[in-house]
Copies of this chain bind each other. A is one copy, B any other.
Amino acid sequence: MNEPDIVSLDTADPLAVKRDDFDLPEDKVYLDGNSLGPLSHRARQRAQEVIDKQWGQDLIASWNKHHWIDLSIAVGAKIAPLLGASPEQVVCCDSVSINLFKLLSCALRLQTDRSTIVSEQDNFPTDLYIADGLSQLLGEDRCKLRLVNEACLERALDDDPAVLLLSHINFRTGRLHDMQSLTRAAHQRGCLVIWDLSHSAGVVPIELDHWQVDFAIGCGYKYLNGGPGAPAFLYVAKRHLANVNQPLQGWMGHSAPFDFEPGYKARDGIGQFLSGTPPIISLSVLDAALDVFADVSMEMVRAKSIRLSELFINLIKQNRSLAELELRSPTNSDDRGSQLAYAHPSAYAICQALIAAGIVADFRSPDLLRFGFSPLILSFQDIQHSVQSLASIIVEKRYLEQGFNQRLRVT
């Protein structure tokens, strides 16, 4: 694809204008929105307002006056449409790990005669650690984690597990599961599903209600752009809401927290999944960040995400000097999220050289370069520039210089 064609892609891009909503460093192309989404102007303004005005001036009164007390529910309701969920089925609080613990406990309680959690060997590790922690707490007769490879997932359902726990998009390769068909297959065997949407929420169309998903979790700091460590969300299907009780029952999940009764009585609905007091500053920032989605559809976002990824793949293919890079993501765009992984024996050093050149990609051990495509901030010319930089680093072997191979602890 030649230069004028790429310029015309940007000219025709209906999402190009969204970049103005963000405060991006001028000297970088940011291909790591799949790890940490960028700062939006709305997020910055809201942080200032919540700190200076709400906390600073109105102090304790802000719990009512500025609706802090309802913020977890309100932010959940704002995330819901991005997931194909009704507003009353999503709440925002705690971390993905903590929320998964709540949902796994609920799912196992619903499955009185089953105890196995099936997941993938290369699921995002924190999900596996949490399942393992629950298993150790309850004992293997009540909760046993079984890890299988992707190819064996459907077969594992034949053994009647209690819960199928999967990430919608694989954090390394970007491989996208068919959520609808796997959910249906699980339900046919009486198995409940929990989907981790951390790498898909805000970048891939999702239809939790329509696909009959039981439970889901996901994080606020990747494509939702909620800021570092932004609170996470959780989703519970309407049909389960009246039949579950989660063990991390804190005062914010009580039906009348300010009655300070010694006995716990859970709120009705999704609010029962709240535990302690949420981090209001971080939660407010996420709330404001979500407003950038108000005028875009997930279909538009997905269409641009695919175009960005395909352009990246094609530009790499066209460049013979990049032949050493081996695509480890699915080649069919329907089977991928908004990220690509390429293997290279010097992946770590190349990644460092790229970052030094202003192209922020990331590295996953042992040999993967990972490129994330945030459709709200990236142009097609950014993709072209990134591949050109990558090519010049590899052609000129610049990654062998300047200590790029000196390993730091990277995220």
Binding site for B on A (CB under 8 A): 23, 25, 28, 30, 32, 35-36, 38-39, 43-44, 47-48, 51-52, 54-64, 68-69, 94-98, 101, 105, 121-126, 128-130, 132-134, 136-138, 147, 171-172, 219, 221, 227-232, 245-251, 253-254, 257-264, 275-283, 285, 355, 360, 362, 364-365, 408-411
| Copies of this protein chain in the complex | 2
Known interface pairs A94-B276, A129-B254; 11 further A-B residue pairs with C-beta atoms within 8 A, sorted by A's residue number: A30-B59, A32-B59, A36-B59, A61-B355, A98-B275, A124-B260, A129-B264, A132-B263, A137-B137, A228-B281, A232-B276
For A147, the chain B residues whose CB sits under 8 A away are 262
Partner of A249, one of B58, B94, B130: B130
Partner of A264, one of B101, B132, B221, B232: B132
In whole angstroms, what is the CA distance A43 to B50 when docked? Answer: 13
User: Nearest 9 CB-CB pairs, A to B?
Assistant: A95-B276, A97-B250, A97-B276, A279-B282, A228-B280, A126-B251, A63-B411, A133-B249, A39-B56
In whole angstroms, what is the CA distance A60 to B246 when docked? Answer: 33
**Are B360 and A133 closer than 8 Å at their CB atoms?**
no
**Are A248 and B39 closer than 8 Å at their CB atoms?**
no
Partner of A285, one of B228, B264, B281: B281
Provided the pairs A47-B281, A229-B279, A281-B282 are in contact, do residues A136 and B411 lie with their beta carbons within 8 angstroms? no
In whole angstroms, what is the CA distance A65 to B5 when docked? Answer: 38
For A47, the chain B residues whose CB sits under 8 A away are 47, 51, 281
Shortest Cβ distance from A50 into chain B, in angstroms? 8
For A125, the chain B residues whose CB sits under 8 A away are 251, 254, 257, 260-262, 264
The chain B residue with its CB closest to the CB of A38 is B59
For A136, the chain B residues whose CB sits under 8 A away are 245, 247
> Which residue, of A47, A246, A257, has the highest number of chain B Cβ atoms within 10 A?
A47
For A123, the chain B residues whose CB sits under 8 A away are 262
**Are B281 and A227 closer than 8 Å at their CB atoms?**
yes
The chain B residue with its CB closest to the CB of A134 is B247
**Are B95 and A275 closer than 8 Å at their CB atoms?**
yes
Shortest Cβ distance from A132 into chain B, in angstroms? 5
For A36, the chain B residues whose CB sits under 8 A away are 55, 59-60
In whole angstroms, what is the CA distance A134 to B134 when docked? Answer: 12
Partner of A248, one of B38, B130, B285: B130
In whole angstroms, what is the CA distance A245 to B134 when docked? Answer: 12
For A228, the chain B residues whose CB sits under 8 A away are 54-55, 62-63, 68, 277, 279-281
